[in-house]
């Protein structure tokens, strides 16, 4: 019975990949792979993704060492500030950078010109680096906290400098995390659509994700074979971080961070010069990464178009919030987008949490089967959203007896497939922290397995599944890639409404909606932390 459940789970989650591969045409494949435009797109994808991954890892590690080893007032607030580029949907950050550093009308061009120009390969690498740097930061911070502080203390007593401690002790222990962070950032970079659409496309710098979009946009369903051919390479590239993750798990014992007692969290006292240097670097970097661009985006929504470029800050004497009133009360597409994202996003998050609970209830004592379920859920997470969307179009367009195309249910299916792992992992971690003696005591008292879960496990896991719900909902609200492919007259998301507003040159309305979405996402993050008692959220 359990294997039947796993089989059905595998069919549901992996069918889109199989369906997309069925659309690959050998003749189209050969024609595309021999074309100069494909080789150029592949070069753009690899060069931008690899370069940005390395930059993200380096910057993330520098910040992680400071946050893992030191305590100071307002540390949690600054940590949240550091994670803003990841929490904010990358299409909003891309729009903000366009407002700030557009080569012709950028608000910040008077003070500082974007080096090399915003549009093109360099701009894509820069945006990829800052949006995915927090991912590397989170991985390194957790690993650095687990390194026993006595190792660093012993090294310093032996006369080692701070740099030598990092080079000889921390860096070797962080090797798996470095490889994992590079792989994860690489997967996120090759999956991104919004940054190439806003930053690369104006200079005709097209990575593979944008070529997939072009194939569908120009050819419709007839462009599926061409889109599938591009997707094959994307999928193969996405397997690299997946296999890296499996390899690291298999070799985890070679890199033991500590043994025996639990390591205490570091609370080292930092010198005043070092602390001030870090604070200066922190606020300069955050100003460039998101504060200045988002501030420019906000200013563009409350003044007349072109006013700031012509007369400067005098425009602030005539500020107006009419664009916010328009997108909230008058724009019908906003209501449709909010309805679609919140309703179907919430339903998806609910299904994901229930699916995770059922899977853990069935397989919590069967490691092999639980590992199989985890692998099934992880593969879609590492798969670019464009591939999942195209696969769903193939599988659920009526060819195999089920037609969900042009309905909201197909995007809900995409949300569930893509984000299921986000709720499964926190619940699994929470379950592993429950003492086995509770289960044994309940069974000795005559409780059934269902009774144990109802009376003991679910109440204890309440912070995990409540926080997990919002942990899934947050990326769904900021999702664009799958929504662009699967939007229909019966479904719009906030992301597609923003995309259309920007595409139709209604930049002020797009900016107003973007600012409101940022506030909503940050509020949900705080709600997730509150409901999970600080266990989830950022």
Any idea which of 122-131, 182-191, 221-230, 245-254 has the lowest mean pLDDT? 245-254
CB-based contacts of 54: which residues, under 8 Å, 6+ apart? 182
CATH superfamily of the 35-287 domain = MetI-like (1.10.3720.10)
Domain boundaries, the chain: 1-16+321-538, 35-287
Phi-psi region of 492 (alpha: psi -120 to 50; beta: other; left: phi over 0): beta
What pLDDT digit, counting tens, does each position of 153-209 carry? Answer: 788 788 877 778 888 888 888 888 888 888 889 988 998 888 999 999 999 999 999
Q: What is the pLDDT of residue 243?
A: 75
What pLDDT digit, counting tens, does each position of 81-116 carry? Answer: 999 998 898 889 999 999 999 988 888 888 888 988
- From the list 370, 368, 465, 385, the residue with the least C-alpha distance to 419 is 385
Higher pLDDT: 340 or 432? It is 340
pTM (2 d.p.): 0.85
Q: Are 13 and 213 in contact (CB under 8 A)?
A: no
* Residue 51 structure tokens: 């370069």
Q: What is the pLDDT of residue 10?
A: 80
Name the average pLDDT for the chain. Answer: 85
Q: Are 16 and 394 in contact (CB under 8 A)?
A: yes
Q: What is the pLDDT of residue 504?
A: 67
- Tokens 């992992």 appear where? 425
CATH of domain 1-16+321-538: 1.10.3720.10
What pLDDT digit, counting tens, does each position of 246-302 carry? Answer: 666 556 555 444 444 444 455 566 778 888 999 999 999 999 999 999 999 999 898
Distance (Å, whole) CA 245 – CA 123 = 29
For residue 1, pLDDT over 70 is answered with: no
Q: Are 52 and 185 in contact (CB under 8 A)?
A: yes
What pLDDT digit, counting tens, does each position of 374-406 carry? Answer: 888 888 877 888 888 888 988 888 878 888 888
Distance (Å, whole) CA 288 – CA 273 = 23
* Residue 169 structure tokens: 């002790």
Distance (Å, whole) CA 515 – CA 529 = 22
Q: What is the pLDDT of residue 260?
A: 44
């Amino acid at each position: 019975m359990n294997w039947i459940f796993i089989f059905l789970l595998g069919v549901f989650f992996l069918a889109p990949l199989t369906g997309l591969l069925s659309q690959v045409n050998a003749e189209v494949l050969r024609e595309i792979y021999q074309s100069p435009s494909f080789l150029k797109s592949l070069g753009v994808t690899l060069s931008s993704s690899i370069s940005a991954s390395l930059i993200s890892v380096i910057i993330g590690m520098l910040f992680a060492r400071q946050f893992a080893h030191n305590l100071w007032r307002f540390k949690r607030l600054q940590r949240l500030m550091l994670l803003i580029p990841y929490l904010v949907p990358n299409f909003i950050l891309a729009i903000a950078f366009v407002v700030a550093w557009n080569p012709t009308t950028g608000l910040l061009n008077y003070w500082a010109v974007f080096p090399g120009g915003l549009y093109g390969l360099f701009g894509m690498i820069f945006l990829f680096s800052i949006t995915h740097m927090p991912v590397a930061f989170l991985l390194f911070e957790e690993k650095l906290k687990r390194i026993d502080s006595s190792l660093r203390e012993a090294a310093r007593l032996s006369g080692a400098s701070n740099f030598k401690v990092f080079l000889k002790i921390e860096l070797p222990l962080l090797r798996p995390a470095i490889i994992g962070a590079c792989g994860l950032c690489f997967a996120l970079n090759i999956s991104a659509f919004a940054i190439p659409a806003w930053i690369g496309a104006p200079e005709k710098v097209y990575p593979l994700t944008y070529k997939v979009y072009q194939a569908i946009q120009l050819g419709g369903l007839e462009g599926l074979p061409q889109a599938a051919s591009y997707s094959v390479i994307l999928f193969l590239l996405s397997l690299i971080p997946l296999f890296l993750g499996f390899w690291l798990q298999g070799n985890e014992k070679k890199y033991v961070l500590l043994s025996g007692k639990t390591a205490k969290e570091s609370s080292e006292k930092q010198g005043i010069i070092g602390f001030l240097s870090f604070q200066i670097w922190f606020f300069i970097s955050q100003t460039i990464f998101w504060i200045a661009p988002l501030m420019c985006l906000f200013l563009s929504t409350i003044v007349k178009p072109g006013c700031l470029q012509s007369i400067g800050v005098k425009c602030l004497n005539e500020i107006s919030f009419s664009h916010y009133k328009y997108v909230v009360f008058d724009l019908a597409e906003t209501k449709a987008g909010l309805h679609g994202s919140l309703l179907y996003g919430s339903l998806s998050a609910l299904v994901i949490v229930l699916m995770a609970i059922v899977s853990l209830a069935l397989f919590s004592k069967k490691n092999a089967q639980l590992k199989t379920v985890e692998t099934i859920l992880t593969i879609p997470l590492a798969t670019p959203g464009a591939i999942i969307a195209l696969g769903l179009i193939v599988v659920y367009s009526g060819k195999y007896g089920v037609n969900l195309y042009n309905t909201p249910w197909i995007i809900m299916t995409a949300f569930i497939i893509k984000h299921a792992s986000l709720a499964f992992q926190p619940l699994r971690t929470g379950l592993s922290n429950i003492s086995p003696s509770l289960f044994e005591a309940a069974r000795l008292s005559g409780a059934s397995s269902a009774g144990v879960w109802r009376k003991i496990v679910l109440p204890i896991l309440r912070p995990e599944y409540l926080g997990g719900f919002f942990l899934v909902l947050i990326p769904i609200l900021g999702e664009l890639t799958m929504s662009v492919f699967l939007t229909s007259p019966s479904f719009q998301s906030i992301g597609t409404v923003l995309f259309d507003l920007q595409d139709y040159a209604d930049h002020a309305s797009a900016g107003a909606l973007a600012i409101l979405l940022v506030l909503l996402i940050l509020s949900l993050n705080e709600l997730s932390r509150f409901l999970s008692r600080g266990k989830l959220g950022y």
